Amino acid sequence: MSAATIATVERAASVQVQLAGDWTLATMPQPISRFELRLRHLAAGDADWDLRAIARMDSAGGILLWRAWGRRWPASLAISPRHRSLIERVEAVPVDVGPPSSPGHLNALLLLGRLVLAAIDNLAGIVALIGQLVLDVAHLCRHPRDIPWREFSANLFKSGAQALPVTALIGFLIGVVLSYLSALQLATFGADVFIVNLLGISIVRELGPMLVAVLVAGRSGSAMTAQIGVMRVTEEIDALATMGVSRSQRLVLPKVIALSIAMPLLVVWCSAAGIIGGMVSANLQMDLSYGFFIDTLPKVVPVSNLWIGMSKGAVFGFLIALLACHFGLRVKPNTESLSSQTTTSVVTSITVAILVDAIAAILTRNVGIPL
């Protein structure tokens, strides 16, 4: 292989540029940017181009010449038919000039429009998935033998039983921290005994459901999205469809039902751990006896707060599983889509849980709060 060379011959009326050697990526001089700059300088003048001495040319050489010529053919060109054919193929490749520039406010408007359209598309997909789940439940009620008990029990174990240690630990620590910080303020006003009211209402009604929702969205929700997404990448879902197995009945429905049942129980478990943590902290810091705490708690925290917390847990569980399965089914057959959809699933689940919790707090503001 010989290196690509450029020679110029001065003539009376013009300059002839003679190219020779092998014009391939391996034989062109380095750096190629400087080599291309020289070609552009020669192409800027009125020169005659002679490419008949070129022995070999690959697509890199053709692209280099086409770009140096300003993406148009020179007025005077001597070239072999096979090399002309190669450059003509380069010419046929469309040039990606990118979207036209627009003012800043239009860019912001376009971004907002894309977000709105994406939200509408996701909402339509979620509504369609809910409708499919309703049809699956109706089918299973008519055909109880088709109920996927194994998938349901497996999801219940993974999402519920295996989440008990981490939810108990987080609940206990939050109860300790909340009790410690509250005691400092209550002691200032001599209202130490009201720490039972504060811990009971805040943990059972708000902190318990929200802590469990965030933990489950990050733990179980991401796992569900990743599992279904990997099945999309490996075409396992297509294989299920080929065998006549409903993906919603075997994959989505067991996850949604299992998490909807497990979440209220996890809320009770986490709230109990939080109250125990607060009771221990109150005893150590304020010398508040365990007996007084246990005896006062049912009096100052109506049982309706427990039902509100469990109801929130059931709604959070349904929404987290539904969103996780929805984004898992939208994964495209590549790893980049898998990671982005998993992240979107977790962020959306937590955001929706906080939004629903805020709406529930407004709607139930007069329920379970002793005057």
Strand order in the sheet with 47-57: 5-10, 15-23, 47-57, 77-78
| Residue 119 domain-assigned (yes or no) | no
| Residue 121 domain-assigned (yes or no) | no
| Residue 124 domain-assigned (yes or no) | no
CB under 8 Å to 60, separation ≥6 — which residues?
Answer: 24, 25, 28
Query: Does the pLDDT at position 112 exceed 90?
Result: no
Report DSSP state, residue 101. P
175/29 same-domain check = no
Within 10 Å of residue 260's Cβ, how many Cβ atoms? 20
Which residue carries 């092998």 as its tokens? 22
86/196 same-domain check = no
240/173 same-domain check = yes
70/164 same-domain check = no
Last residue within a domain, chosen from 63, 92, 121: 92
Last residue within a domain, chosen from 92, 118, 151: 92
What is the rounded average pLDDT for all residues in the chain?
87
pLDDT at 103 (0 to 100): 60
| Span 44-77, pLDDT tens digits | 777 888 888 888 888 888 888 888 888 888 888 8
Q: How many domains does the chain have?
A: 2
197/322 same-domain check = yes
Domain that holds residue 261: 142-363
**Statement: the pTM of the whole predicted model exceeds 0.75:** no
| Span 128-155, pLDDT tens digits | 999 999 999 999 999 888 888 999 999 9
268/350 same-domain check = yes
CA distance 307 to 311: 6
60/209 same-domain check = no
Query: Does the pLDDT at position 105 exceed 80?
Result: no
Query: Does the pLDDT at position 111 exceed 90?
Result: no
| Residue 255 domain-assigned (yes or no) | yes
267/350 same-domain check = yes
| Residue 369 domain-assigned (yes or no) | no
Report DSSP state, residue 100. P
| Span 166-213, pLDDT tens digits | 999 999 999 999 988 888 788 777 777 888 888 888 999 899 999 999
pLDDT at 342 (0 to 100): 92
pLDDT at 22 (0 to 100): 85
Query: Does the pLDDT at position 90 exceed 60?
Result: yes
pLDDT at 364 (0 to 100): 87
| Residue 118 domain-assigned (yes or no) | no
| Residue 58 domain-assigned (yes or no) | yes
73/154 same-domain check = no
pLDDT at 65 (0 to 100): 85
Question: Strands, DSSP E only, in the chain?
Answer: 5-10, 15-23, 47-57, 77-78
